[in-house]
Amino acid sequence: MILTVKTNGTETEYIRFGHGEKTLVIIPGLSVKSVLLSEEQIVSAYSPFENEYTVYLFDRRLNMPENYTVYGMANDTAAVMTALGLEDVCLFGVSQGGMIAQCIAIEHPALVSKLVLGSTAARVPGGGIKADAREFLKALYSDEFISKLGIAEALSNVEITEDEEKRFRITSKAADGFDVTDRLSRIKCPTLVIGASNDKIIPPAASAELAELTGGELYMYGAPYGHAVYDEAPDYKARVLEFLKR
């Protein structure tokens, strides 16, 4: 069930599942359609976590301003966490969600006990994502994954509403000028960085830089995995869970 929380005059939708004593907060990446529409698949994918963790997955706020930035997203997400009484959580962010997670860990360290950063970067040289929504969808997945599932035509013909186009335009510009390289040393919690060698969106070298600057662990997936390795690699969730349980 999709839930809603109000903070500072804004509304944010989220899902919650699991019944563990620990808390895991997931911040998804840039998307064309709300990830909350895939609630059933998300709950199934993270079922190994549900006995030890209560899991929250937050979407971006509703009614986003045109000039919304990653920094603004981080402040809004931190406010949502505070409103829900969440602190000392395990925080897992992928892609743009990983950028948001970095900002939260830097500016609100009491909220975060462990940090996992997937397919993301500490800075975005040259601006944000410039591809249109359909090209972005195809760039997420490895060629092998698209071929195996036969989804190339489906990705090209996915129906995108006017509101979704607007949402994608705003969020895809949000990382323009993003750079926290000079502040990452403020992150003191244990950190795991996961990247993939065939990432078409975030340069693989960005994962190595991020691990070095945070003093975190680094794990890189080889071919054929790309940006959406978090969805494609069969051992990805187990790798995250093993790190969090240490």
pLDDT of the chain, 246 residues: tens digit per residue: 899 999 988 999 999 999 999 999 999 998 888 899 999 999 999 999 999 999 999 999 999 999 999 999 999 999 999 999 999 999 999 999 999 999 999 999 999 999 999 999 999 976 555 556 556 665 666 666 656 555 444 445 567 788 888 888 899 899 999 999 999 999 999 999 999 999 988 999 999 999 999 999 999 999 999 999 999 999 999 999 999 999
HEC string for the chain: CCEEEEECCEEEEEEEECCCCEEEEEECCCCCCCHHHHHHHHHHHCHHHCCCEEEEEEEEECCCCCCCCHHHHHHHHHHHHHHCCCCCEEEEEECHHHHHHHHHHHHCHHHEEEEEEECCCCECCCCCCCCCHHHHHHHHCCHHHHHHHCCHHHHHCCCCCHHHHHHHHHHHCCCCCCECCCCHHHCCCCEEEEEECCCCCCCHHHHHHHHHHHCCEEEEECCCCCCCHHHHCCCHHHHHHHHHHC
Whole-prediction pTM value?
A: 0.91
**Which residue ranges form the domains of the chain, and what is each CATH number?**
3-245 (3.40.50.1820)
Decide: 89 and 16 in contact? Cβ < 8 Å.
Answer: no
Q: d(Cα 204, Cα 119) in Å, to the nearest integer?
A: 8
pLDDT at residue 152, as a whole number:
46
Q: Which one, of 7, 128, 3, 107, lies nearest residue 63 by Cα?
A: 7
